[in-house]
Structures are given as C-alpha cells and as structure tokens.
C-alpha cells in the first residue's frame, strides 16, 4: 500500500507541475521506491508493477481497439483483458474489487498523452459483457511519521462516488478539448503567438454550457490567459473572417503599454489559424459570438 500511496502522491505532484495531461514516457518511467523503479503503466491496460500484489493502474489508449464507455448507470465500463474472465490480469482486478483497493485510471487523451483519475475503484464485474465497472473518489494524502496515508470516506457512498465520477468525466472532456485545440494551433496563442503552454487556454466560441457548446476543435481558439479573459469579457472578438475586433471604448482608452500591446494593437489583425480547414473556427459560431460582442459594446 505504501508503493500505491507513493504513486498517488507522485502523480498529484506531476499534475500540479504539468497539468491534467501527462506524457506516457514520464508515466512509464515512474518513480523510485526504496531503490526500485516503479513504472505507473505498462504495455497492457491492466498493470501490476513488481512491487505490488494487485494491479496499480488501468489504462485506456486513445487509439486502442475499443474505447471505454459510460453505462446507463453512470459508471465507467472498463473492458477485460481478452475474453478469458480467469486471465490473471482480470483476476487481479477482481481481487482489487473485493478488497476495495484504490487504483489509478489513465485515460488516453492523445497518442502518448494521458490524464490520470485517482483514486479509482472497481465496483462491479459483468462477466457476460466482459467489463468491469469503475468509479472515482476523492483523494486526501497526508504524511504521518514519514509515511503517506490516504483518507477516503469509510462509507464509499454510492451516490457521492457517482457524482464524483460524473464530475471527473467532464474534467476529462475539457482536458481533451484543450489538448486538441492547442495541438491544432501548434501550441501558440492565435492572437499574440505566445508559446508557453502553462499560459495558454482553449477558449470556447460557443460556451460549453450552451446548446452549441460541443467540445470540438472548430468551437475552440488557442488563447493566452490575457486574450482568453478579454474574449470571454467581450472586450475583443474574432469576426467570421478571422480578424480581431476590439471594443471601441477600449480603443479610446489610455492606460499604459499593456493595454496598447495586449489589446489595442491586435485590432484589425488576422489571427493565426490551424493548418487543417476542418479545425479552423466555425464562421457560424463566430457570427453568434460577434452578435454578442456588438450587443455588449
């Protein structure tokens, strides 16, 4: 269990440094525990490192033969390894379910890029469908006497876990949206071309809460945090012919070099666009956004 908890702490630290999506090379390298290297995942979806008696992680690849689904009960359905329920990997997950041992669930966002859901629990086993049922939970790691301890509610609370699982699924969709949009814009702000990933966002043109707010690349713009905030506040917009338009009142202001360089000089400029036409901002979405901008101005 100390190896498992150290893995959780290591992953939490990496996510704090790099964001929700981590490179597979980092996860495969893992960390060192008492002189032994502990990788977090392996070639197969169900992974048990040498130091653990039970699987440490389960993985869904972005381009695998099948994608895990969410069942009508709101639980994640994770496919068996192969078709033999007695395969050692499947038996290992069954044992983890019986003991309610926490795992990490790695979700492939892009080739070589994974988001980590931790802790995840196996809560069901459907032999007929060759699937396990997976739920997520909260994680609270503390250090006591130099040892990591995990605080997970004694009563798992089925409704609570389902809510957490649904919330995490939304977070994963947003993480995938960000990855895909930033990749389409080659990791640069469409307005100022800033390339520091930690300062870049994937902005929605149609808000994700709206009826048109699908998490597709054509509904996204790669923007630095300054331009994202200005876009969301309708201080500037992108016209359907991909030019920046700044609110007239902002153009008339005099408030130092940041206003001039950050906003005023962008007025009338063409934005940087993805190379593939299908990934460029949808003009109909931009038209809707432009109408909102005009009204706000």
Under the banding of pLDDT at 50, 70 and 90, the label for residue 144 is very low
How far apart CA 94 and CA 109 sit, in angstroms, is 26
Q: How far is CA 16 from CA 21, 93, 153, 239, in A?
A: 10, 28, 23, 36
Given a cut of 50, whether residue 153 has pLDDT beyond it is: no
How far apart CA 82 and CA 162 sit, in angstroms, is 27
Per residue in 53-73, pLDDT (tens digit) is 999 999 998 765 445 566 667
Percentage with pLDDT > 70 across the chain: 89
Task: Check residue 259 and give its pLDDT.
Answer: 86
Kindly list the domain boundaries of the chain, sorted by start residue.
2-178, 187-296
How far apart CA 295 and CA 16 sit, in angstroms, is 39
Given a cut of 50, whether residue 143 has pLDDT beyond it is: no
H or E segment and range at residue 123: strand 113-126
Under the banding of pLDDT at 50, 70 and 90, the label for residue 169 is confident
Per residue in 238-287, pLDDT (tens digit) is 999 999 999 999 999 887 788 888 899 999 999 999 999 999 999 999 99
How far apart CA 185 and CA 170 sit, in angstroms, is 23
Closest CA to 79 of 97, 55, 58: 58
The strand pairing partners of 21, in sequence order, are 115
- Predicted TM-score (pTM) of the model is 0.74
């Amino acid at each position: 269990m100390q190896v498992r908890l150290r893995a959780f702490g290591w992953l939490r630290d990496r996510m704090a440094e790099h964001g929700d999506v981590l490179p597979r090379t980092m996860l495969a390298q893992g960390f060192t525990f008492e002189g032994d290297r502990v990788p977090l995942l392996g070639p197969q979806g169900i992974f048990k490192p040498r130091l653990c008696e039970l699987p440490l992680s389960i993985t869904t690849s972005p381009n695998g033969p099948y994608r895990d689904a969410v069942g009508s009960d709101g639980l994640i359905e994770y496919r068996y390894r192969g078709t033999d329920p007695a395969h050692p990997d499947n038996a290992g997950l069954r044992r983890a379910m019986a003991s309610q041992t926490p795992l990490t669930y790695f979700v492939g966002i892009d080739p070589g890029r994974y988001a980590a859901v931790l802790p995840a629990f196996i809560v069901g086993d459907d032999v007929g469908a060759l699937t396990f049922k997976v739920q997520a939970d909260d994680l609270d790691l503390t250090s006591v006497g130099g040892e990591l301890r995990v605080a997970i509610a004694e009563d798992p609370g089925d409704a609570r876990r389902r809510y957490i699982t649904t919330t995490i699924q939304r977070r994963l969709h947003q993480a995938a949206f960000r990855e895909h949009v930033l990749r389409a814009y080659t990791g640069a702000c469409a307005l100022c071309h800033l390339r520091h990933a930690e300062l870049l966002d994937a902005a929605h043109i149609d808000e994700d809460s709206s009826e048109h707010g699908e998490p597709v690349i054509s509904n996204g713009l790669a923007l630095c945090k300054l331009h994202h905030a200005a876009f969301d506040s309708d201080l500037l917009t992108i016209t359907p012919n991909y030019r920046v338009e700044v609110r007239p009142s902002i153009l008339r202001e005099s408030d130092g070099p940041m206003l001039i360089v950050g906003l005023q000089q962008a007025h009338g400029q063409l934005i940087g666009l993805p190379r593939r036409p299908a990934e460029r901002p949808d003009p109909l979405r931009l038209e809707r956004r432009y109408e909102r901008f005009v009204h706000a101005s």
